[in-house]
Structure 1
């Protein structure tokens, strides 16, 4: 509702609704990650759960602190960290997917797509 008050958005249009939801999802993930970093700092220093960031009220921080310290969250976090370390090649193309990059790099005359070596060079060099 706040977005619609400030901007003229028709959220009944599917592509607009999708774009707004996608942007808000990414912002939330980034914010959640920052709060988790704050939790890790406060937990490693032995600070109490009331060491809330200035912009988060103590009741909300207590809920987040309990969630972050739960066994299920810690287990999932460890699995995700291990999987991230296993990546052999990081995605370095910004918002474009590898499929789109592959298509964009095809030869304009022959229509032939690049081979694996040329694709790697085009995205990493």
Structure 2
């Protein structure tokens, strides 16, 4: 759960970084709960060539998806186990499993 929170938090910081137009504006737009030094380290990471390359690859791969997966990092086996009926311990059918992993 903490890993998911951190991933969401880092994503929000990256969104804030992307909203800035110039590098000078980025340095001044540090969130109130992030120190200036930490924000500068994050901005340097977000602007690095390796981060930009990986980001572009991930963007292109997400565009190729025909159906979005909404189960997060959890494996299908774990997701199926979590969806079992608590009374009968029966696993979900194919339709319910699809709805659980691809629909919000």
TM-score for both structures, normalised by structure 2: 0.69
Q: 1:82, 1:64 → 2: CA distance?
A: 23
Alignment of 1:1-125 (within 5 A): 23-42=1-20, 45-46=21-22, 47-92=25-70, 98-99=76-77, 100=80, 104-106=91-93, 119=94, 121-122=95-96, 123-124=98-99
Moved segments of 4+, more than 2 Å: 91-99, 121-125
Residues 95, 36 of structure 1: alpha-carbon distance in 2 compared, 3 angstrom cutoff: closer
Task: List alignment gaps of at least 5 residues for structure 2.
Answer: 84-89
Structure of greater relative contact order (alpha carbons < 8 Å, 6+ residues apart): 2
**CA contact under 8 A between 1:49 and 1:62: conserved in structure 2?**
yes
TM-score for both structures, normalised by structure 1: 0.58
Larger Rg belongs to: 1
Q: How many residues align?
A: 88
